[in-house]
Every structure is written in C-alpha cells, then in structure tokens.
Amino acid sequence: MNDHIAAALHDFTQRYCQQWQQRYGHLPASAELYSIPSPCAVENRNEQVLWQPQPFRAKPHLDAVERALDLQLQSAVVSYYTTQYAGDMPATYEQQPITLLQVWSEDDFVRVQENLIGHLVMKRRLKQTPTLFIATTASDSEVISVCNLTGEVICETLGTPRREKLAADLRTFLKLLQPVTEIA
C-alpha cells in the first residue's frame, strides 16, 4: 500500500512540476516559502523560491503523533507525509480548488506532526472519528482529510460532524487530482 501512495504522490508531483515548466519555463515557485530553508529550495528569484521535490530523509514514521494519542495511524497517511519534501501544491478535485499540503523540511515535519496532534485532540474532545488532514480548501472551516478508521478521503467541516466522502482511499484521490499552476 505504501508504495502505491508514494507512486501516486510522485505522479501528481511530476505532473505539477511539468505544468509549471511548460507554463512559466522554470521550476514551481512559492512566495510563502521564500527564505525558509529546505532541501527543495533551488533558487531565490523575485521574492519567491523555486523548488524541486526531494526524497524524504528523516525516518519514515509519524511516531510522535501515534505516541501522543496512543493511536495507530493509517499507513497511507504515514506514507503520504514521509515520501518527499516539496512545496504545497494547488490542485482541483472534481473542479473544486484545494491545496495539497506537503512537508517542506525536517523542521516543517515536526510542525506538521504537532498540527496533526492538535487536530486529533480536537476530534477526540468532540467525540468524532479521528481524521488526518492532507489538504486545505477555499474555506477556512473545511479540510480534506483521511479517515483513520476507514482510509476514505473526506471533506470535513472543522468543529462539526459534517463530512463528505470524496474517494475510497488516498491513492484514488491523488490519481484524480489535477494540478493548478496559476500564480495568484
């Protein structure tokens, strides 16, 4: 399963980078990540960093999250967050805009784990099924998550029980994403 997630994520990332190259003649660029150290950073240009995905170098686990909540995580999510370092990547899923969250560096990996712990603590306090976010949406109150019980990818409204199934699993979800490379 983990190899399938890594392959689907690599495939999407490759399509995203190729679209940037075709559209702008250079690697993906990010103003938000400008001057933040990362193995992905290739060049600073016009207050943006040009980046290229790099293999994940830390140990491929989310043990800090699992220990903090005494919870076994979906292997698909572990693979998702430990496959590569990359910038966040805008995309569409069935014409809906999302931003696929990625790990930018080892320091960012620590922050991502802390945020996942906070998210899972909130879910536990609300007595809701545990989920692990993988993307944001245009709405500040909605995120794209993987249900830790079923492995389904869902759109959930934070703080409420509302959730909509988007895909049966993370691999299917990643395969259906379309890259968006327009500069805002």
* Closest residue by Cα to residue 156 from 126, 112, 111, 117: 126
At 66-78, the pLDDT tens digits run: 999 999 999 999 9
* Closest residue by Cα to residue 128 from 83, 162, 177: 162
pLDDT band at 30 (very low <50, low <70, confident <90, very high): very high
User: In whole numbers, what is the pLDDT of the chain averaged over residues?
Assistant: 95
At 94-143, the pLDDT tens digits run: 999 999 999 999 999 999 999 999 999 999 999 999 999 999 999 999 99
**21 alpha-carbon distance from chain centroid:** 21
| Model pLDDT, residue 178 | 97
Give Cβ neighbours of residue 131 (< 8 Å, ≥ 6 apart). Answer: 119, 120, 123, 145, 146, 147, 148, 154, 156, 163
| Model pLDDT, residue 184 | 56
Q: What is the maximum span of the chain, computed from C-alpha positions, in angstroms?
A: 49
Q: How far apart are CA 150 and CA 169, in angstroms?
A: 8
* DSSP string of 100-112, one letter each residue: E--B-SHHHHHHH
Spell out the domains of the chain, with CATH numbers in brackets: 2-179 (3.40.1580.20)
Q: How far apart are CA 20 and CA 2, in angstroms?
A: 27
